[in-house]
Structure 1
Amino acid sequence: MCGQTLVRNGKTSAGKQRYRCLNCGSSRSGERPDVSRRAELEAFLGWLMGTTGQAAAASFGTARSFRRRTAWCWNIVPRIPATGEVHDQIQVDGIYVGSWCCLIAVAGEHVLGWQWCDTEKKTAWAALLQRFPAPRVVITDGGSGIAAALSECWSETAVQRCLVHVQRNVRTYLTSRPRTEAGRALLRLGRALTRINAPAEAAAWLAGLNAWHQEHGALVKARTYRAATAVAPGWVRSNQAWWYTHDRLRKAYRLLERLGQAGTLFTYLSREYNGLDIASTTNRIEGGTNAQLRLILRTHRGMGEEHQKRAIEWYLYLHSEQPRPPATLIETSHYRPAKRTTQTLQEQEPGPELYSTGLSPDEGLWHRTGWAGRT
């Protein structure tokens, strides 16, 4: 054959598809391995991204046949190439899968990339952020390590803290029903964050936070000193001489005060970003991406960690801006295991010597001659 693309040319008497080259006229019959692998990968992704069972995913027969024919598909590792495009805003967040954490970056409706790590930390975030040019605004929930990575990789990028996460943090410190009037007033300020839609409302909120401090600031600074009559809370160390009396109230206020002074609460209302529709929350990545990932893992519960990771990678890849057709990612090494050569076997470290059936004089066993009772 001359190497040109073959076209279908009827079927043989056995029912197999016949192919013919229009250039040289040669023909052949039989299966097309590339077509079979493409069909198997499409069926595999249809099952992985869907909610149907393995037996109904394709016309492969039973679920066992489906697993056998698509087992090689787990070897494909999809990756999103960096395009170098500068985005107005990027949302970042992490999702935990077993002992792994997947850091994800999203721009608009598309996934930009991901990074696997053991936990959210500076080095992992930096490995993800370095792949993309710095955007104008980054929206984050303020997880561990992200602030240090942003100052190192995207030092000129403005930061918008997710207001929903700030609300949750305040409610975690104060509970949903604070006992003191100061706690109830501070909780009302926290709940009002997501209802601010104009710069004037943001200024009024900051003024309200300042007014709260003017009225209840003494509670933030109040201390309790260790004494025979004082009952120390459980979180106080044994060698601690004093502690803040209203510790959780102080933490809630300090959180709002720190974010207000840093200017990361109302970045989306800045005049320089008018018309860009900067988000004030990470709801796009939380509800649009992470929620779908959890749905996939829940639908196909029982997968091992490696298969869970591959399922997440496939979803993120397929929801990137311009993903290549999955069949183009197939390589020979994915479906054909590497051959073990004699040299490879010799280079392996020798293991323990196995027992043999031969007789050894070292063990007192050898072939004897003569009569055992002869003197």
Structure 2
Amino acid sequence: MNNPKCSACGGAMKRNGRTKSGAQRWRCRSCGASMAHRIDSSAKHLKAFLRWLLGKLSVAEAASCSKDTFRRRAERFWKMWPLPVYTGEVHDVVFVDGIYVTRKLVVLIACSREHVLAWHLAQSECSSAWAALMTKVPAPAMVVTDGGSGFRKAARAVWPNTRVQRCLVHVSRQVKRKTTLNPQLDAGKELLELAQRLAKVKGPDAAATWMADYAGWCAKWERFLREFTLKDGRKQYVHERLRSARRSLNALVKEGTLFTFIELQESVGGAWDSTNNIIEGRVNAQIREMLRAHRGLSTMRRVKAVFWWCYMDSEFKVSEAEMLRTMKTDEEVEGLFASASKPKRKQDGSPEEYGSGVSWNEFHIATEYRQ
């Protein structure tokens, strides 16, 4: 089964002794050309590496070899960058979110209901980072987001015709952080009740009722929320947390991003999502579980672990042998100086944050889907 063919004439070859290193030597029956042939097990080793990285098996269970041998084989695979495949497929709904590897390193992810579509490494959730992610995916009809900083600006520039739906669960949580779960004031209790109802809104009648009730709450407590005191000659509002919650809700009402899914249900038909639960539960939760299972990895290896998870959850992944032939390595990825720095030390000698710090210029991969 593993008998090679002659590279010169394509003829059958026969065994012809062994080399000094013990490799099998072959000789062509037709032209007499000689060659040494070894079975390449790299694809099998990569498959074992991914089985260990993405699962909960031990090294012995995943690779059936010693830990030292596994680490030696894995060094090659840690240098690979599994990047998204650009297909041009247009989706009705795209979910976007970011998962932080360190405080200053985030992987932005875009996914559909079934697969991860694209991912991008950035230092923060700024508008340029979101734009870099969005240029890798054709503009959908609607995008669901938790309202990360910079996203709205990037969406206007890259996906100008895409409708934006703010995740209602995240909006509700933002209000609850201001009111707390046990508010003492009547205004806070009523606003908390409105926040708890928000994620349950599913149709136009429920949305209209919620909007009317919220407008009534604003009118009822307008004078109450204007109460202030003077501190060092400056006006200071008494109920600043409630005012902050009201400002965030007013901004979403003004933008029209609270009930976009209902508008599309009425104009286009079909089911449209109102929350980011798909990317939070199916993608982010599993990535965090993987990172917990492999805690102790350096910064760049945690980043690459996230990249591997996203790639293996994408629709157009290739075989392990093709990955080895086509995937970029550290030296080939443009703009990323891929080296995990040593742990920074505080003045007392203790580590500040394990594996922090990456040498940066920009991490941008060319794509044909520019908007």
Match of 1:83 in 2: 87
Q: Distance in 2 between matches of 1:297 and 1:194?
A: 30
Structure 1 residue 30, shift from structure 2 partner: 4.7
Pair 1:272-2:267 in alignment: yes
Match of 2:360 in 1: none
Equivalent residue for 1:31, pick from 18, 21, 38: 38
Whose strand fraction is larger, Structure 1's or Structure 2's?
A: 2
Q: 1:205 corresponds to which residue?
A: 210
Q: Are the aligned partners of 1:161 and 1:264 in contact in 2 as well (CA < 8 Å)?
A: yes
Q: 1:24 to 1:301 in 2, by over 3 A?
A: farther
Deviates more, 1:83-92 or 1:203-212: 83-92
Distance 1:7-1:125 versus aligned 2 partners, 3 A rule:
farther
The whole-number CA distance in structure 2 between the counterparts of 1:127 and 1:299 is: 30
Shift of 1:19: 7.9
Q: How many residues align?
A: 321
Match of 1:253 among 229, 233, 246: 246
TM-score (normalizing by structure 2): 0.78
Q: 1:124 aligns with which of 104, 122, 129?
A: 129
> What TM-score, normalized by structure 1, do the two folds share?
0.78
Cα distance in 2 for partners of 1:89, 1:47 equals 32
- Give runs of aligned pairs for residues 212-223 of structure 1, distance below 5 A: 212-223=217-228
Contact conserved, 1:73 with 1:334, CA < 8 A, in 2? no
Tell me the equivalent position of 1:58: 63
User: RMSD of the TM alignment (CA)?
Assistant: 3.1
Shift of 1:6: 9.5
Q: Hey, what's the Cα distance between the residues in 2 that align with 1:36 and 1:58?
A: 12
Asked if the contact 1:93–1:105 (Cα under 8 Å) also holds between the matched residues in 2, the reply is yes
Secondary structure at the aligned position of 1:265 is classed as coil
- Cα distance in 2 between the residues matched to 1:45 and 1:175: 43
Residue 78 of structure 1 aligns with an amino acid whose one-letter code is: P
Matched, 1:297 2:291: yes
Alpha-carbon distance between aligned partners in 2 of 1:56 and 1:86, rounded to the nearest angstrom: 40
Alignment of 1:1-375 (within 5 A): 1-2=6-7, 30-32=37-39, 35-60=40-65, 62-98=66-102, 99-226=104-231, 241-270=234-263, 271-275=266-270, 277-331=271-325
Q: Structure 1 pair 11/53, CA: closer, same or farther in 2 (3 Å)?
A: farther
Conserved? CA contact 1:54–1:66, under 8 Å: yes
Q: 1:220 to 1:31 in 2, by over 3 A?
A: same
Alpha-carbon distance, 1:329 to partner = 2.3
Q: Distance in 2 between matches of 1:333 and 1:78?
A: 6
| C-alpha distance after superposition, 1:10-42 (max 9, x if no partner) | 9999x988989899898866522xx31111111
The whole-number CA distance in structure 2 between the counterparts of 1:136 and 1:332 is 32
Larger Rg: 1
Shift of 1:218: 1.1
Q: Helix, strand or coil: the match of 1:115?
A: strand
Q: 2:85 touches 2:316 (CA, 8 Å); kept in 1?
A: no
> What is the rounded CA distance, in whole Å, between the counterparts of 2:9 and 2:186 in structure 1?
81
**Does the C-alpha gap of structure 1 residues 87 and 23 become closer, same or farther in structure 2, counting only changes over 3 Å?**
farther
Identity rate, percent:
40
Distance 1:96 1:47, change over 3 A: same
Residue 208 and residue 17 in structure 1: after superposition, are their counterparts in 2 closer, same or farther (change >3 A)? Answer: farther
Q: Secondary structure at the match of 1:57?
A: helix
Contact 2:172 / 2:195 at 8 angstroms: preserved in 1? yes
What is the deviation of 1:326?
2.8
Match of residue 347 from structure 1: none
Helix, strand or coil for the counterpart of 1:330? Answer: helix
How far does the alpha carbon of each residue in 1:75-102 deviate from its partner, in whole angstroms, 9 at most, with x for none? 1111112112221111100010024101
User: What amino acid does structure 1 have at the position aligned with 2:204?
Assistant: P
Deviation readout 1:314-367 (Å, 9 max, x if unpaired): 1101111111123212249989x99xxxxxxxxxxxxxxxxxxxxxxxxxxxxx
Mind listing any 5+ residue stretches in structure 1 that lack a counterpart? 228-239, 339-375
Instruction: Confirm or deny: 8 A CA contact 1:9 1:17 kept in the other structure.
Output: no
Between the aligned partners of 2:296 and 2:62, the Cα distance in structure 1 is 18
Which residue in 2 is equivalent to 1:371? Answer: none
Aligned partners of 1:8 and 1:17 also within 8 Å: no
Distance of aligned partners of 1:178 and 1:322 in 2 relative to their CA distance in 1, 3 Å threshold: same
Tell me by how many angstroms 1:312 deviates.
Answer: 0.8
How far did 1:273 drift?
A: 3.6
1:207 aligned counterpart, secondary structure: helix
Deviation at 1:4, TM superposition (A): 8.3
